[in-house]
Amino acid sequence: MRNYMIKRLLLAIPTVIGVTILIFFVMRILPGDPLTLIYGENTGIYILSEEEVAAARHSLGLDKSLTEQYLSWMGDVATGKLGTSFWRDEPIMEVIARRGPITGQIAVMAIAMSWILGLPAGILAATRRNTRFDLVTRSLMTFFQAIPSFWLGASFILVTVIFFTWRPPIQIAYLWTDPVANLKMTIGPAIAMGLGIAASIGRMSRTTLLEVIREDYVRTARAKGLAEKVVLARHMVRNAMLPVITVSGLHFATLLGGSVAVEQAFGVPGLGTALVQAINERDWMVIQNLVLLYGLTFVIINLLIDISYAWIDPRIRYS
């Protein structure tokens, strides 16, 4: 196990470096920078002299070569100083520390909800194959998989506003300071994203469980006289969990980086909203650090998924 973890960590290093290079050069290839909004011919709001423009570019480090800019950014990342927002003059680490817990909590709530709804539905659909319950469950799973999460979020807001005169709070409220206000702010996005993931997990658990049901060790367990509940819990579900764990981990990583549209729909002040604001303002430093954070999260979660396989399935051994 230790050797495997070391190998996976070593493989993750070039992946992370590749992500940083891609983010850096894509940001430089795209037209426009923060100064374009200030003095651009069509979009500029101020008229700056050449000296003022040069001083502004120097403050942003834009007068350096691309190699120097990249190494400077990597130095900031290595020391944990991710720079400062151009427009708000706020350290980016403070932005992440303030908004990150909200986005993380929504992702955790969505995954928890998907397991609570999707896993039992998939198990019952597999054990009652081709019954009316199975047909209805599969239809609902397909329906919620096909609907975008931001559309569900917009519909949720519309229904609650019209029928219950409820509006989600727009100020940050943490679970440990104001649990009620926090849940009002996060429950809507969690439901909107969790239903689609629950449908995906339900279909995956149903499919894998149907494959496990045909295995020899399941027939042997039944032949020994074990109760059906024991066979289901000890032999069938546990051995069918690996694909479900994989899908859940990938969805969780995607939630952290892909909650932009849902956060915008609900007006949640999370990292997704911060990313949209930075893109609109061409705030390079904020954009590239947030995208890097999403990339690192994806790599770390994939590593944890691989390591969890041996704990879930004792037959797996890493050499």
Amino acid code (one letter) for 5: M
For residue 118, the 8-state DSSP code is H
Per-residue pLDDT of 110-162, as tens digits, reads: 999 999 999 999 988 988 888 899 899 999 998 888 887 777 777 777 777 77
Instruction: For residues 76 and 134, state if they share a domain.
Output: no
**Residue 49: inside a domain:** yes
Same domain, 108 and 166: yes
Q: For residue 240, what are the domain limits?
A: 100-312
What confidence score (pLDDT) does residue 76 get? 82
The structure's pTM equals: 0.80
Domain count of the fold of the chain: 2
Q: Are both 106 and 200 inside the same structural domain? A: yes
Given this model, what pLDDT does residue 168 score? 66
pLDDT value of position 39 = 56
Which residue is listed with tokens 């990342």? Answer: 77
Determine, yes or no, domain membership for 206.
Answer: yes
Q: For residue 19, is it within any domain? A: no
Pair 158, 202: CB distance under 8 Å: no
Q: Tell whether 193 and 239 lie within a shared domain.
A: yes
* HEC secondary structure over 36-71: HHHHCCCCCCCCCCHHHHHHHHHHHCCCCCHHHHHH
- Asked if 244 and 160 sit in the same domain, the reply is yes
User: Is residue 43 domain-shared with residue 132, that is, in the same domain?
Assistant: no
pLDDT score, position 310: 67
CATH number of the domain bearing residue 166: 1.10.3720.10
Residue 240's contacts (CB-CB under 8 Å, 6 or more residues apart) are 205, 208, 209, 211, 212
Q: Could you report the per-residue pLDDT of 188-205, keeping only the tens digit for each?
A: 888 888 888 999 999 998
How do the pLDDT tens digits run along the chain, 319 residues long?
A: 677 677 777 888 888 888 888 888 887 776 655 566 555 544 445 555 667 667 767 766 777 777 888 888 888 888 888 878 877 778 888 888 888 888 888 889 999 999 999 999 998 898 888 889 989 999 999 888 888 777 777 777 777 777 777 666 667 778 888 888 888 888 888 888 888 899 999 999 898 888 888 788 888 888 888 887 888 877 788 778 888 888 888 888 778 765 777 887 787 888 888 888 887 777 778 888 888 888 888 888 888 887 777 676 666 665 5
Q: Is 308 left (phi over 0), alpha (psi -120 to 50) or beta?
A: alpha
Q: Which is nearest to 252 in space by CA: 102, 107, 116, 153?
A: 107
The reply to whether 52 and 132 lie within a common domain is no
User: How far apart are the C-alpha atoms of 97 and 99, rounded to whole Å?
Assistant: 6
Q: Within a domain: residue 21?
A: no
